[in-house]
Amino acid sequence: MSSHPLRIGLSARLMHQVPAELGFRGKTLQYLEQSFAHWIMAHGALALMVPTLGHDAEVARRRVHLQGYVDLLDGLMLQGGADVCPTMYGQAPLRPEWNGDLVRDRYEVELIEAFVAAGKPVFGICRGHQLINVAFGGSLLQDIVTQRPGTRSHVDRAAYDEWHHAITLTPGSRLAALYADAPPRPLVNSIHHQAIDRLGSGLVVEARDADDGTIEAIRHSAAGFVVGVQWHPEFHWRRSDRLDAEPLLVDFLHAARARRNAAPAA
């Protein structure tokens, strides 16, 4: 049984067009949002970003093996960020600005598949939640209010993470058990214009928007610990007016530790 801290892999956000004031002319940045890493580190785990290799990478892909990261890490967390490209679920973008980031999509789906194959936990947030659904064969609404007229807007650019709504937890679900003491309609932030449409194979719904029914949380019914939530729990951290972030992360870290302790010694 290993005593070293849990090592949690974080998928990278990609910035393909870097603002001139940052000083990286013609370069691509791979980065993570600070509160995401701090949330994990506050539990004594190590947060380690997993970089991707683009088609123009200076490192030959044959020299870097994804399995090396999977073997090293105890679990995978997927950050929020850019839209998922509709071609990932067999559609053409309805508008050019909804084309998403295909490079990042392919990289993160490869990560999801590798960690699931290894039996290591995967936890997706916002975009990560949507991409888990796509990785298991599901589809997305490219824009909620366009494709489901009358549905509430789930994003407000000015309010950002202060924009929020109530959710309902699916009775009998693991999420409902984690939040047994939560109010009937807990509040979560809302920073997305895309959402799950057709549910992926093996996935079950664990939470919905309390008013319009938009899917807000999913879990795989058979592939070990594979969970996605549409909100950003890392932005709820230490806030008493939103659904407590801690049960979600503690459950994920518990699964990561259990998987590591169950693995045969190298």
Query: Catalytic residues, which ones?
Result: 126, 232, 234
Query: Beta strand 187-189 with 140-141: parallel, antiparallel or unpaired?
Result: unpaired
The contacts of residue 63 (CB under 8 Å, 6+ apart) are none
The contacts of residue 154 (CB under 8 Å, 6+ apart) are 144, 163, 165, 190, 191, 192, 193, 195, 209, 214
Rg (CA), the chain: 18
Closest CA to 210 of 168, 172, 242: 168
Query: Beta strand 215-220 with 226-229: parallel, antiparallel or unpaired?
Result: antiparallel
Angle at 224 (CA atoms; ends 218, 228), nearest 5 degrees: 25
Q: Output the six-digit token pair for 13.
A: 């956000």
